[in-house]
């Protein structure tokens, strides 16, 4: 565990890239397995690399959003424009999660879809609304938990949530 923490502290962006590239892609694979009811590997090698690149990009954006929105909430509290929740409390974590997901989350959902559409050379916007609703029923609660854990564990937990969402979506989208 100490090696992980040292790696995350010394390499904040690289660790976000690696964790999201691996865990986000695993989440998509699991989702496909559940939807197709088959453990056949769902992607070609080039598509797997593309998916990993997409997730790595999302990981960098998420890392910056975690830092930026923490500063945003702290500044709102300092300026008496937001309730004075203590860092690490449920109120603080929920505030941070809600503000981040309702602003940055929408952008992230759209960018994820745009990047997924690129290799297929298509404009698939089907069920984008469902992806946006996931910000409310999944990501705000998940990131509330995420913002209650120590900072060094947050990106790793966020990447793990991608696997959880893959399981949920795969289960409910089975054919």
pLDDT digits (tens, 9 = 90+) for 1-25: 899 999 999 999 999 999 999 999 9
Torsion, CA 118, CA 53, CA 165, CA 120, rounded to 10: 20
pLDDT value for 146: 98
pLDDT digits (tens, 9 = 90+) for 119-143: 988 898 988 998 999 999 999 999 9
Instruction: Tell me which residue has tokens 């992607």.
Output: 43
Indicate the pTM of the whole model: 0.94
158/59 Cα distance (integer angstroms)? 9
The domain tally of the chain equals 1
Domain that residue 50 falls in: 2-172
Angle at 21 between CA 123 and CA 69, to 5 degrees: 85
pLDDT digits (tens, 9 = 90+) for 51-79: 999 999 999 999 999 999 999 999 999 99
pLDDT value for 120: 87
Contact 165, 138 (CB under 8 A): yes
Contact 81, 43 (CB under 8 A): no
Tokens at 79, concatenated: 């300026």
């Amino acid at each position: 565990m100490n090696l992980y923490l040292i790696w995350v502290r010394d390499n904040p962006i690289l660790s976000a890239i690696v964790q999201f590239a691996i865990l986000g892609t695993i989440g998509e694979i699991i989702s496909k397995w559940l939807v197709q009811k088959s453990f056949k590997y769902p992607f070609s090698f080039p598509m797997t690399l593309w998916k990993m690149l997409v997730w790595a990009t999302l990981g960098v954006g998420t890392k910056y959003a975690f830092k930026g929105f923490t500063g945003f909430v702290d500044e709102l509290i300092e300026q008496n424009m937001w309730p004075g929740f203590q860092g690490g409390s449920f109120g603080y974590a929920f505030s941070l999660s809600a503000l981040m997901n309702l602003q940055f989350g929408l952008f992230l959902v759209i960018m994820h879809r745009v990047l997924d559409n690129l290799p297929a050379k298509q404009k698939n916007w089907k069920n984008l609304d469902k992806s946006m609703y996931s910000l409310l029923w999944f990501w705000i609660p998940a990131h509330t938990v995420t913002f209650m854990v120590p900072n060094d564990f947050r990106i790793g937990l966020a990447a793990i949530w991608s696997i959880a969402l893959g399981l949920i979506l795969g289960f409910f989208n089975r054919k």
